[in-house]
C-alpha cells in the first residue's frame, strides 16, 4: 500500500472570499453607494421637488465615487496602496532628488551657519 500524501490546506479564516468579483468586503462600498444614490435621488425628487434629471445628476457622484475608489485604488492592489496614493497626491510626494527632499530637523539649525 502506498503512503498517503499530505497536502497543506488553508483554513477558511485565511481566505478573503469574493463577492461580485471583488475580494473581501470591497463589494460593500459600491453597494452602499447604490443605496445612498437611490436615497439622494428620492430625496431630491420627492422631497425637494427637483426635476428627475437634476435629481439623477445629484445621485450620480454618490454612486460613481465609491465604485471608482474600489476599482482604482483597492481592488487587486497591495495593502495600503490607497493611503499611499492619497498621501502622495496631497503632499509634496517622495523624491530621490536631494534638492527636493526636506532637510532633517536634527541636523539643520538656523543658528548654525555652514
What are the extents of the domains in the chain? Answer: 50-78
CA distances from 3 to 6, 7, 17 (A): 9, 13, 33
Mean pLDDT of the chain: 81
pLDDT band at 75 (very low <50, low <70, confident <90, very high): confident
User: Which pLDDT score is estimated for 101?
Assistant: 61
User: Which pLDDT score is estimated for 110?
Assistant: 58
Over residues 32-72, the pLDDT tens digits come to 999 999 999 999 999 999 999 999 999 999 999 999 999 99
User: Which pLDDT score is estimated for 111?
Assistant: 53
Residue tagged 500500500 (cell numbers): 1
* Mean pLDDT, residues 107-113: 56
pLDDT band at 25 (very low <50, low <70, confident <90, very high): confident
Secondary element (H or E) of residue 64: helix 52-69
User: Which pLDDT score is estimated for 59?
Assistant: 95
**Can you give the pTM of this predicted structure?**
0.62
In the chain, beta strands by DSSP E: 18-19, 22-23
Amino acid at each position: 500500500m502506498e503512503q498517503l500524501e499530505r497536502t497543506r490546506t488553508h483554513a477558511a479564516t485565511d481566505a478573503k472570499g469574493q463577492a461580485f468579483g471583488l475580494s473581501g468586503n470591497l463589494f460593500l462600498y459600491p453597494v452602499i453607494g447604490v443605496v445612498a444614490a437611490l436615497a439622494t435621488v428620492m430625496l431630491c425628487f420627492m422631497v425637494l421637488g427637483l426635476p428627475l434629471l437634476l435629481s439623477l445628476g445629484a445621485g450620480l457622484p454618490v454612486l460613481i465615487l465609491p465604485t471608482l475608489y474600489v476599482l482604482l485604488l483597492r481592488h487587486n492592489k497591495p495593502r495600503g496602496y490607497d493611503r499611499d496614493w492619497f498621501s502622495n497626491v496631497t503632499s509634496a510626494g517622495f523624491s530621490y532628488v536631494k534638492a527636493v527632499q526636506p532637510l532633517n530637523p536634527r541636523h539643520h539649525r538656523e543658528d548654525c551657519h555652514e
